């Protein structure tokens, strides 16, 4: 079962940073935090993941608090194509089940 909570929806102005929060207060020491997004009627797209340290790639940055009980996905310059449902997932090593929560529906406004 999903171990994360996210706000159901958020808006962001085009060109501004989108900061999507996620609470995972019961995360275990060996569990990673993964972020995916799903654009309507498509399969989820991988964005980023991390264990303890902050991570950055070409799509986004992931900030994990020191106690690891929450994290924030940052899209530095949101575009209209970033409108999607964003899912935060915690999961231990390879082979374990991968459960989706309810996600955050992000709308980027022109």
Partner 1 sequence: GAVVSQHPSWVICKSGTSVKIECRSLDFQATTMFWYRQFPKQSLMLMATSNEGSKATYEQGVEKDKFLINHASLTLSTLTVTSAHPEDSSFYICSAEKRGNSPLHFGNGTRLTVT
Considering the complex, state which of residue 70 and residue 103 has its C-beta at the smaller distance from partner 1.
103
Cβ–Cβ contacts within 10 Å for residue 33, how many? 24
**Is the CB of residue 73 less than 8 Å from the CB of residue 35?**
yes
Q: Interaction with partner 1 in 74-93: which residues (CB under 8 A)?
A: 87, 93
Q: Is 95 in the site for partner 1 (CB under 8 A)?
A: yes
Tokens of 16: 């501004």
Q: Binding partner 1 by CB under 8 A: which of 44, 70, 73, 90?
A: 44
Instruction: Provide the pairing of β-strand 104-109 with 84-91.
Output: antiparallel
Summarize as ranges the residues that interact with partner 1 (CB under 8 A).
32, 34, 36, 38, 41-46, 49, 87, 93-95, 97-103
């Amino acid at each position: 079962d999903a171990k994360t909570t996210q706000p159901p929806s958020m808006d962001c102005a085009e060109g501004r940073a989108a900061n999507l929060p996620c609470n995972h207060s019961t995360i275990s020491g060996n569990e990673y935090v993964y972020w995916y997004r799903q654009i309507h009627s498509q399969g989820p797209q991988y964005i980023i993941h991390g264990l303890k340290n902050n991570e950055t790639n070409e799509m986004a940055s992931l900030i994990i608090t020191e106690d690891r009980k929450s994290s924030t996905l940052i899209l530095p310059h949101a575009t209209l194509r970033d409108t999607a449902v964003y899912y935060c997932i915690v999961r231990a090593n390879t082979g374990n089940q991968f459960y989706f929560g309810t996600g955050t529906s992000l709308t980027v406004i022109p």
